[in-house]
Amino acid sequence: MPDALSTGTSALLAFQRALSTVSHNVANIETAGYSRQRVELETQNPAYVGVGYIGGGTRVSGIHRVVDELANARLIDSGGELARLQQLSTLSNRVDKLMSDTATGVSGLWSGFFDAVSALSANAAAPAERQNVLGQANALATRFQQLQGQFDTMSSEVDAGLAAGAQEINRLAEEIARLNGRIGSAAGAAPDLLDRRDQLVAELVGYTGGSARQQDGGAVNVFTAGGQALVVGTQASRLGTVADPYRPGRVQLALESQGQSVRLDERAIGGRLGGLLEFRSQVLDPTQAELGRIAVSLASRFNAGHAAGVDQYGQPGGAFFSIPAPRVAGHAGNAGDAALGATIGDLGALDGRDLLLQWRDGAWTASRADTGQSVPLTGSGTADDPLRVGGVELVVSGAPAEGDRFLLQPTAQAAGGLAVAISDPARIAAASPVRAQAALDNLGTGIAGALGVTDASHPALRTPATIEFIDADHYTIDGEGPFPYTAGEAIEANGWSLVLDGAPAAGDRFEIQPTGAGSSDNGNAALLAGLDDARVLDGGHLSLNGAISGLTTSVGSAARHAGYAAEAQAALHAQAQSARDSVSGVNLDEEAANMLRLQQAYQAAAQIISTADTLFQSVLGAVRR
């Protein structure tokens, strides 16, 4: 009877704990990262009774998590990659909407401006058409400035996200380190603490990417995607932000460990912060640079064309747009006092990429800031022989020290500085600087045809000149010559070029005169209207219109690529979650069946105790008699 009572009691206690574990599973069905628990039972040591062994009941040998460590590791890894891609996709879509939406993009106002210039070429003297050109130009410049402002705001958001993310990473790393200390050996650790640690590790990897590795003794070490340790045993490193050495207004990530601060390369970080860094370097910065390149190209080409004409005051056209010079920033650690002044030298070679210039072994070298790839550089850096790299010319002042570095940003902030340089509509140089007129007493059929400007800076461009034909095949210019003449070929002098229609005769004269004030000539306006289709970029292979379309397309392509990648990774993450849940997740049907089975077992154990008690009371009653 005592054996039966002991056996029933052991079963009762075991089933009670098993029921409590089932209840704990059901209660945590919605708890993130919870792994279902299972009670492991084993038999008590049997007792020898002379004729054999009689069992001593059961006991709880342990309460364990039902986990698959490989499935957990796969889920953690996929979660970090998903966080990176979702962050990249979200921010890239914002840039795409800015560039492609008709309300915020530049394409509509770009077309409106050149349409206004084209309308001016049809009626060059009309005040309304001139005012419309200025209005459209100001609207276009404002749109460039607005886009740059939006990009600057997004850059500030990236900085704020990095700072906030670093704080959260530090909190998670410290908590994981504390749990490592509390858990000690994983074999005897509380299952709920192990779940809590796994959940924190998943959150940490979601911010930084990387991996988690369990070391001997049960502690979990966490590393970034680049292999930098965030948690080692009970020690947690701290992540912080430091100012960019070239751009103090921009922050970078740095790992603080054992009293040292080490800047982290953006490729060493995954997860949400990796998505922020990748967006900044692969989408935001290139978009700003290309938008700036378009702004610089517009200003440079339009200014050059505008300078080739004359305004209604009879004066040569001045700068129509103003645009800032390329930016050159020295590294915070430079030891020399050198400074670099930059100007655009070759528009066709300008690609807008940021470059690193370094003084090493008595010479300058250049490389791309994003890849480190070497870039050809010529010149010595003097005013007569400037450094020439990527379409930019640089003049060095002061003396560089060995290893001094400079960041060249040819067009990064140029869009924000684009502005209209004139406010008087009469200052629009719509007229050609010179005009050609045939003498009234000419005998031949030759008439002045196309008169163009080949060199707007020629000092004698607007000097009056007389072309006189000696015979049908020879002519003089202001008495100089004779020069051979072939029908259809241009006559060139003083920066202008004239093509005659018809056949001139001996003695025929053609006068080249400067265009005076109040002219309704539209020759220069017609040329300005076609500048958007001029192939001036990429070595003469790309027009300004093509650059606008290409930028919109490239941004949209980057956003779509990031979106597709995020969708694919979301599917993989869902598969990893399902694989983990199939092992560790709580199934209500299974728990209900376990509860019913354990309830019946508990009742049976209680019945054993009740039966043992009845037998014992029977014995006591017999003794009393």
Summary count for the chain: helices (H), strands (E): 11, 31
Instruction: Single out the residue of 238, 201, 205, 207 nearest to residue 220, CA to CA.
Output: 201
CA 53 – CA 61 distance, rounded (Å): 21
Element (H, E) at 495: none
Among the listed ranges 155-159, 266-270, 333-337, 604-608, which one has the minimum average pLDDT value? 604-608
CA 72 – CA 211 distance, rounded (Å): 11
CB 450 within 8 A of CB 499: yes
In the prediction, which pLDDT does 265 show? 85
User: If you count them, how many residues does the chain have?
Assistant: 625
In the prediction, which pLDDT does 203 show? 95
Which letter does DSSP use for residue 608 in this model? H
Instruction: Single out the residue of 298, 297, 318 nearest to residue 307, CA to CA.
Output: 318
In the prediction, which pLDDT does 187 show? 61
Q: Would the pLDDT of 581 be above 70? A: yes
pTM to 2 decimal places: 0.87
Element (H, E) at 348: none
Taking residue 391's Cβ as centre, other Cβ atoms within 10 Å add up to 21
In the prediction, which pLDDT does 186 show? 57
pLDDT bracket for residue 185 (50, 70, 90): low
In the prediction, which pLDDT does 519 show? 85
pLDDT bracket for residue 4 (50, 70, 90): confident
What are the start-end ranges of the H helices in 64-126? 69-100, 107-122
% of the chain residues with pLDDT over 70: 98
Q: What is the per-residue pLDDT across 114-135, written as a single tens digit (0 to 9) for each?
A: 999 999 988 888 899 999 999 9
CA 106 – CA 149 distance, rounded (Å): 14
CA 547 – CA 373 distance, rounded (Å): 24
CA 523 – CA 10 distance, rounded (Å): 107
Instruction: Single out the residue of 124, 224, 222 nearest to residue 179, CA to CA.
Output: 222
Q: Would the pLDDT of 528 be above 60? A: yes
CA 252 distance to own-chain centroid: 14
CA 541 – CA 426 distance, rounded (Å): 34
Which letter does DSSP use for residue 434 in this model? E
Q: What is the per-residue pLDDT across 447-462, written as a single tens digit (0 to 9) for each?
A: 988 788 888 888 888 8
Among the listed ranges 51-55, 159-163, 422-426, which one has the minimum average pLDDT value? 51-55
Q: Would the pLDDT of 1 be above 80? A: no
In the prediction, which pLDDT does 382 show? 93
Taking residue 239's Cβ as centre, other Cβ atoms within 10 Å add up to 26
Q: What is the per-residue pLDDT across 593-608, written as a single tens digit (0 to 9) for each?
A: 989 998 898 888 888 8
Q: What is the per-residue pLDDT across 471-497, written as a single tens digit (0 to 9) for each?
A: 989 999 998 989 999 988 899 999 889
pLDDT bracket for residue 225 (50, 70, 90): confident
Please count the CA atoms within 13 angstroms of the CA of 9 that sit on its side-chain side. Answer: 9
What are the b/e assignments for 298-335, b being 16+ CB within 10 Å?
bbbbbbbbbbbbbbbeeebbeebbebbebbbbbbeebe
Taking residue 264's Cβ as centre, other Cβ atoms within 10 Å add up to 19
Q: Which residue has the tokens 């850059």?
A: 155
Element (H, E) at 152: helix 127-183
Q: What is the per-residue pLDDT across 373-401, written as a single tens digit (0 to 9) for each?
A: 999 999 999 999 999 999 999 999 999 99
In the prediction, which pLDDT does 618 show? 75
Instruction: Single out the residue of 393, 360, 394, 355 nearest to residue 374, CA to CA.
Output: 355
3-class SS of residue 469: strand
Q: Would the pLDDT of 113 be above 90? A: yes
pLDDT bracket for residue 557 (50, 70, 90): very high
CA 76 – CA 52 distance, rounded (Å): 53
What are the start-end ranges of the H helices in 384-531? 414-417, 523-529
CA 236 – CA 259 distance, rounded (Å): 13
Please count the CA atoms within 13 angstroms of the CA of 322 that sit on its side-chain side. Answer: 7
CA 314 distance to own-chain centroid: 48
CB 496 within 8 A of CB 431: no
Among the listed ranges 106-115, 251-260, 553-562, which one has the minimum average pLDDT value? 251-260
In the prediction, which pLDDT does 324 show? 94
What are the b/e assignments for 396-422, b being 16+ CB within 10 Å?
beeebeeebbbbbbbbbbbbbbbbbbb
**Type of residue found at 130:** R
pLDDT bracket for residue 621 (50, 70, 90): confident
pLDDT bracket for residue 2 (50, 70, 90): low
pLDDT bracket for residue 137 (50, 70, 90): very high
CB 363 within 8 A of CB 377: no
The residue-averaged pLDDT of 228-235 equals 90
In the prediction, which pLDDT does 313 show? 92
In the prediction, which pLDDT does 84 show? 95
Q: Write down the mean pLDDT value for the chain.
A: 90
CB 340 within 8 A of CB 402: no
**Type of residue found at 144:** F
CA 130 – CA 120 distance, rounded (Å): 6
Q: Would the pLDDT of 559 be above 90? A: yes
Q: Would the pLDDT of 625 be above 70? A: no
pLDDT bracket for residue 409 (50, 70, 90): very high
In the prediction, which pLDDT does 153 show? 95
pLDDT bracket for residue 178 (50, 70, 90): very high
Q: What is the per-residue pLDDT across 270-302, written as a single tens digit (0 to 9) for each?
A: 999 999 999 999 999 999 999 999 999 999 999
Q: Which residue has the tokens 């003049």?
A: 395
Instruction: Single out the residue of 79, 30, 9 nearest to residue 577, CA to CA.
Output: 79
Between the alpha carbon of residue 139 and those of residues 56, 143, 144, 418, the distances in Å are 92, 6, 9, 11
CA 142 – CA 421 distance, rounded (Å): 13
CA 143 – CA 109 distance, rounded (Å): 8
CA 452 – CA 435 distance, rounded (Å): 9
Instruction: Single out the residue of 125, 215, 137 nearest to residue 176, CA to CA.
Output: 215
CA 87 distance to own-chain centroid: 11
Write the CB contacts of 279 (distance below 8 Å, at least 6 apart in sequence).
87, 88, 91, 92, 158
Q: Would the pLDDT of 619 be above 80? A: no
Write the CB contacts of 410 (distance below 8 Å, at least 6 apart in sequence).
289, 292, 293, 296, 326, 342, 344, 350, 351, 352, 353, 354, 355, 390, 391, 392
Q: Would the pLDDT of 309 be above 60? A: yes
Q: What is the per-residue pLDDT across 49-105, written as a single tens digit (0 to 9) for each?
A: 777 788 888 888 888 889 998 999 999 999 999 999 999 999 999 999 999 998 999
In the prediction, which pLDDT does 172 show? 96
CA 344 – CA 303 distance, rounded (Å): 13
Name, of 141-155, 209-223, 430-444, the range with top average pLDDT: 141-155
